[in-house]
């Protein structure tokens, strides 16, 4: 009597390794996995990781999880770019100092997700061997990788990212506003403060020892969210003047009341799962402008000539450039800011050269001044915001969006020229005066 030989069942991770090997991957790159654990509660996961070098010199992290991969539908409904498990994995990789921009995450049931952790985006979600074969493997072919298939993989458009950020902000400003009994305008400004803070964090302008939004989900039960947010807001409001438009105490009270209503912690956790690619001046301008202003921005971007440099950049400090935001939109506004800042940088360099030659540096702005004022190159964004540019608009809400966008644009300039601790002046924005509060009608005399 003959006995039938029994084959060892092939597990999904083993099958994926076979597929990669057939694509030309070295078996050595698919071995020697190291254990890894991440997450807490319902998102707790265990697995292993290994680094696979790619033909273009990058590294792809292969991470096998013993738990099924998260479904992305609920995260996308909340306008989040990462699922909670992904955010926990990102924190674990940072904590363990495991470097790798792209991660291939796969589970025991032949699910695979390709993630770009540098941009904090899920690029592809494949379920089952057929989807893995048809959608994932062509990207991971060694010839395709050598040609940059991971870097060139299609991402969301800036318009798509802006609409998602706008929708997320609309949802949470309504929740925070209701929880704190704040007006829609004040609640939205509260979120605008968070957006500016998140931007300068991603730009690397914040101190490495300071609190960051990426830290919050690690220990939410230990960190008080009000103190956490106040600790981030305080230096940016008090020392940098980046957060403008209201006293710090107003937003601290909003945070306190939202925390009492159990809305602040979920808001911060959701916020940590939004892609860093959604935080830029251009995205803010697209996200929070109304449709008419977006149309003006589009029209201005294709019809208006770029702002020209001046033969005498000193004029930037004498006569500001007036921009009618309602007519030109944000593309023209940013173009003029860039031209003014570049002119001022050129002026600062010319002054530095003149000083080396023994000439009098600076501008003779005052005929009675004994020493003409000089500017430094890193002051160009501040002076562009404070002196060189003026904006007018017929609507107060557009003025607030212009403030947000201009402060963000100035922060991006500071990051490019290496100014670590800038001080931001208030943008010069002319808007209609606030309507006076309604007068109370006279009391009706009693007939008794």
Contact 374, 383 (CB under 8 A): no
Token pair for 34: 């190291």
pLDDT (tens digit per residue) in 199-232: 999 998 876 545 677 667 655 555 789 998 998 9
Contact 407, 240 (CB under 8 A): no
Identify the residue whose tokens are 């149309």.
Answer: 295
Which pLDDT does position 367 carry in this prediction? Answer: 47
Which pLDDT does position 376 carry in this prediction? Answer: 87
Tell me: pLDDT of 107 over 50: yes
Token pair for 365: 């702005």
Identify the residue whose tokens are 């033969």.
Answer: 311
Extract long-range pairs of 351-359: CB within 8 Å, 24+ residues apart: 351/375, 352/377
Tell me: pLDDT of 393 over 50: yes
pLDDT (tens digit per residue) in 313-338: 888 888 899 999 999 999 999 999 99
Pairing of strands 321-324, 429-430: unpaired
Tell me: pLDDT of 448 over 50: no
Strand order in the sheet with 45-53: 34-38, 45-53, 59-65, 102-106, 111-116, 121-127
- Tell me which range, 24-38, 39-53, 88-102, 110-124, is most confidently predicted by mean pLDDT: 110-124
Terminal-residue alpha carbon distance, the chain: 114
> Which one is predicted more confidently, 352 or 14?
352
Tell me: pLDDT of 142 over 70: yes
Helix axes 184-202, 396-417, angle to 10 degrees: 10
pLDDT (tens digit per residue) in 273-293: 999 999 999 999 999 999 999
Token pair for 210: 């300071």
pLDDT (tens digit per residue) in 37-81: 887 777 778 888 888 887 777 888 999 898 899 999 999 999 999
pLDDT (tens digit per residue) in 233-270: 999 999 999 999 999 999 999 999 999 999 999 999 99
Query: Which residues are CB-neighbours of 211 under 8 A, at least 6 positions away?
Result: 228, 231, 232
Rounded to 5 degrees, what angle do the CA atoms 319, 323, 325 make? 160
Which pLDDT does position 290 carry in this prediction? Answer: 93
Which pLDDT does position 8 carry in this prediction? Answer: 42
Which pLDDT does position 435 carry in this prediction? Answer: 65
Share above pLDDT 70 across residues of the chain, in percent, rounded to a whole number: 85
The dihedrals phi and psi of 121, each to the nearest 5 degrees, come to -130, 140
Q: Mean pLDDT throughout 426-436?
A: 83
> Which one is predicted more confidently, 340 or 57?
340
Q: Mean pLDDT throughout 139-143?
A: 86
Question: Poorest-confidence range of 24-28, 156-160, 365-369, 394-398?
Answer: 365-369
H helix or E strand, kind and range, residue 65 = strand 59-65
Which pLDDT does position 325 carry in this prediction? Answer: 95
Which pLDDT does position 359 carry in this prediction? Answer: 66
Residue 365's Cβ-side half-sphere holds a number of Cα atoms within 13 Å equal to 13
CA torsion 326-330-332-338 (nearest 10°) is: 140
Q: Find the radius of gyration of the CA atoms of the chain.
A: 27
Which pLDDT does position 368 carry in this prediction? Answer: 47
pTM: 0.87
Query: Which residues are CB-neighbours of 184 under 8 A, at least 6 positions away?
Result: 173, 174, 177
Pinpoint the alpha helices (H) of 117-263. 128-131, 137-140, 142-146, 158-180, 184-202, 225-238, 248-260
Which pLDDT does position 370 carry in this prediction? Answer: 47
Q: Mean pLDDT throughout 389-418?
A: 94
Number of CB atoms found within 10 A of residue 276's CB:
18
């Amino acid at each position: 009597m003959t006995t039938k030989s029994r084959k060892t069942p092939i597990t999904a991770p083993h099958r994926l390794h076979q597929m990669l090997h057939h694509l030309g991957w070295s078996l050595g790159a698919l071995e020697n996995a190291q254990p890894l654990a991440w997450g807490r509660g319902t998102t707790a996961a265990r697995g292993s990781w290994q680094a696979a070098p790619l033909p273009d010199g990058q590294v792809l992290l292969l991470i096998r999880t013993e738990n099924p991969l998260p479904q992305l539908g609920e995260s996308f409904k909340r306008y989040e770019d990462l699922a909670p498990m992904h955010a926990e994995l990102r924190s674990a990789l940072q904590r363990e100092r495991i470097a790798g921009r792209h991660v291939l995450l796969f589970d025991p049931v032949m699910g695979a997700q390709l993630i770009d952790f540098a941009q904090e985006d899920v690029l592809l979600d494949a379920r089952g061997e057929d989807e893995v074969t048809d959608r994932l493997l062509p990207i991971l072919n060694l010839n395709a990788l050598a040609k940059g298939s991971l870097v060139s993989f299609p991402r969301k458009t800036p318009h798509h990212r802006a609409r998602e950020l706008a929708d997320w902000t609309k949802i949470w400003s309504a929740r925070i506003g209701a929880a704190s009994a704040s007006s829609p305008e004040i609640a939205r400004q509260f979120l605008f403060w968070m957006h500016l803070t998140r931007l300068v964090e991603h730009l690397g302008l914040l101190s490495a020892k300071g609190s960051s939004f990426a830290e919050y989900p690690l220990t939410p039960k230990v960190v008080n969210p009000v103190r956490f947010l106040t600790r981030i807001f305080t230096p940016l409001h008090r020392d940098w003047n980046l957060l403008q438009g209201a006293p710090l105490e107003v937003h601290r009270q909003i945070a306190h009341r939202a925390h009492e209503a159990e809305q602040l912690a979920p808001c911060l956790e959701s916020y940590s799962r939004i892609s860093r690619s959604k935080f830029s001046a251009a995205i803010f301008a697209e996200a929070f402008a109304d449709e008419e202003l977006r149309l003006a921005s589009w029209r201005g971007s294709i019809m208006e000539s770029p702002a020209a440099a001046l033969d005498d950049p000193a004029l930037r400090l004498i006569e500001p450039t007036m921009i009618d935001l309602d007519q030109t939109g944000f593309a023209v506004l940013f173009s003029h800011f860039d031209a003014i800042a570049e002119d001022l940088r050129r002026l600062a360099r010319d002054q530095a050269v003149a000083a080396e030659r023994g000439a009098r540096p600076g501008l003779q702005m005052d005929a009675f001044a004994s020493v003409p004022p000089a500017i430094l190159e890193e002051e160009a964004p501040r002076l562009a915001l404070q002196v060189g540019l003026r904006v007018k608009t017929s609507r107060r809400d557009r003025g607030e969006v212009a403030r947000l966008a201009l402060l963000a644009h100035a922060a991006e300039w500071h990051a490019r020229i290496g100014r670590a601790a800038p001080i931001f002046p208030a943008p010069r924005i002319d808007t209609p005066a606030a309507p006076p509060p309604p007068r109370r009608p006279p009391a009706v005399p009693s007939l008794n």
